[in-house]
Amino acid sequence: MIETDIIIIGAGPCGLFTVFEAGLLKLRCHLIDALPQAGGQLTEIYPKKPIYDIPGFPEVLAGDLINHLMDQAAPFKPGFTLGERAERFEKTEEGHFIVTTSRGTQHKAPIVAIAGGLGCFEPRKPPIANIVDFEDKGIEYIVRDPEFYRGKRVVISGGGDSALDWSIFLANGVAEHVTLIHRSTSFRGHLDSVQKVMDMSESGAMRLITNAEVVGVAGEGRLNSITVNVDGQEPLQIETDHWLPLFGLSPKLGPLSEWGLNIDKNSIEVNTFDYSTNVPGLYAIGDINTYPGKLKLILCGFHEATLMVQSAFKRIYPNKNLVLKYTTVNGVNGF
Ligand SMILES: Cc1cc2nc3c(=O)[nH]c(=O)nc-3n(C[C@H](O)[C@H](O)[C@H](O)COP(=O)(O)OP(=O)(O)OC[C@H]3O[C@@H](n4cnc5c(N)ncnc54)[C@H](O)[C@@H]3O)c2cc1C
Task: Flag the least confident range among 50-59, 299-308, 320-329.
Answer: 320-329
* Cβ of 305 less than 6 Å from ligand 1: no
Q: How far is the CA of 239 from the centre of ligand 1 (A)?
A: 38
Q: How confident is the model at residue 162 (pLDDT cuts 50, 70, 90)?
A: confident
Q: How far is the CA of 115 from the centre of ligand 1 (A)?
A: 9
Q: Is there a shared CATH topology between the 2-121+250-330 domain and the 125-247 domain?
A: yes
pLDDT digits (tens, 9 = 90+) for 302-317: 999 999 999 999 999 9
Assigned fold of 2-121+250-330: FAD/NAD(P)-binding domain (3.50.50)
What tens digit of pLDDT does each residue of 218-246 get? 999 999 999 999 998 899 999 999 999 99
Q: Where do the H-state alpha helices sit in the chain?
A: 13-24, 40-44, 62-73, 161-171, 191-203, 298-316, 327-330
For residues 128 and 189, what is the distance between their CA atoms, to the nearest angstrom? Answer: 25
- Whole-angstrom distance, CA of residue 303 vs CA of residue 171: 45
Best mutation site among 41, 69, 80 for ligand 1, i.e. most ligand atoms within 8 A of its Cβ?
41
Q: State residue 206's pLDDT score.
A: 97
The residue whose CA is least distant from atom 7 of ligand 1 is: 51
Bridge partners of 264? 267
**Looking at residue 46, what is its pLDDT?**
82
Distances (CA, A) of 274 to 29, 73, 270, 299, 313: 18, 21, 8, 16, 11
Q: What is the pLDDT of residues 191-228, one digit of tens each?
A: 989 999 999 999 999 999 999 999 999 999 999 999 99
pLDDT higher than 90, residue 327:
no
| Long-range own/partner contacts, residues 93-98 (CB < 8 A, 24 or more apart) | 95/281, 97/7, 97/281, 97/282, 98/1
Mutation test residue for ligand 1: of 18, 70, 288, 298, the one with most atoms within 8 Å of CB = 298
Ligand 1 within 6 A of CB of 110: no
Q: How far apart are CA 252 and CA 185, in angstroms?
A: 30
125-247 has which CATH code? Answer: 3.50.50.60
C-alpha distances in angstroms, 282 versus 99, 114, 222, 309? 11, 7, 41, 11
The response to whether residue 297 sits with its C-beta less than 6 Å from ligand 1 reads yes
Domain ranges, ordered by start, for the chain: 2-121+250-330, 125-247
